[in-house]
Amino acid sequence: MSVKALMATILQDELASRGVHSLTPSDYEAIVEQLVEQLNELEVNLAARELTSKQPPK
């Protein structure tokens, strides 16, 4: 099982425990895909900030 599929299953279980039962398996997979993309973008942005802050002033 892939990490994304495992995350989708965890998301489904967590939402079901909170009363959400109206999403399809593909909805959970799409949500996880978006979350992973957003985390990747955040990681890139944070790395860029770190590099920028380490550069000596001009």
pLDDT tens, residue by residue, 11-43: 999 999 999 999 999 999 999 999 999 999 999
For the chain, helix (H) and strand (E) counts, in that order, are: 2, 0
Say what the pTM is: 0.80
The total of structural domains in the chain comes to 1
pLDDT at 9 over 70: yes
Q: Helix %, strand %, coil % for the chain, to 5?
A: 80, 0, 20
What domain range is 45 assigned to? 3-54
Mean pLDDT of 47-55: 89
DSSP state of 21: -
User: How far, in whole angstroms, is CA 52 from its chain's centroid?
Assistant: 25
Which amino acid would we find at residue 10?
A: I
pLDDT band at 1 (very low <50, low <70, confident <90, very high): confident
